[in-house]
Amino acid sequence: MNWASAALVTLAGGMVLGSALGVSLLRATGSGAGAVLSDRLGYVLSRFVTLDPSEKAARLIQVPGWVDGTLDVTAALVFLSVLYVAFRSPRDRLMPTEDDEARLRTLLDRHGERDSLGYFALLRGKAAVMGASEEARE
């Protein structure tokens, strides 16, 4: 799974879990007694995206301040989780073996004059995979 897919899965999972938490909190506090599930879900999602819910949601649902605070913190945690997954270090990914590194050095010796950034392919923190046509891919 690449970084973009992992970030999207993290975002979707966080939104689902955060929405379930928010709707449960609204139901537990008795907020929005006349509101249906879609109204509560809309309120929670609008709190995730903005700091001020729509007028319709604000009219239907009155919540204690701590519920809004909990929803804001949950949204911030989801956002930070997505950032972490998207920008984490490649250390836990497939790293080149000594054989791969030797093949990369041979490739750079052969074609290095055309690749001014070839040095960076040999850095230890860089993930590289040798293709079937003896081309290095990141």
pLDDT tens profile 88-123: 876 656 666 778 778 877 877 777 666 666 666 666
Pairing of strands 136-137, 129-130: antiparallel
CA distance linking residue 61 with residue 31, whole number of Å:
6
The length of the chain is: 138
| Helix 3-28, helix 37-49: angle, nearest 10 | 130
Tell me, letter by letter, the H, E, C secondary structure of 109-136. Answer: HHHHHHCCCHHHHHCCCCCCEECCCCCE
Q: What is the pTM of this model?
A: 0.64
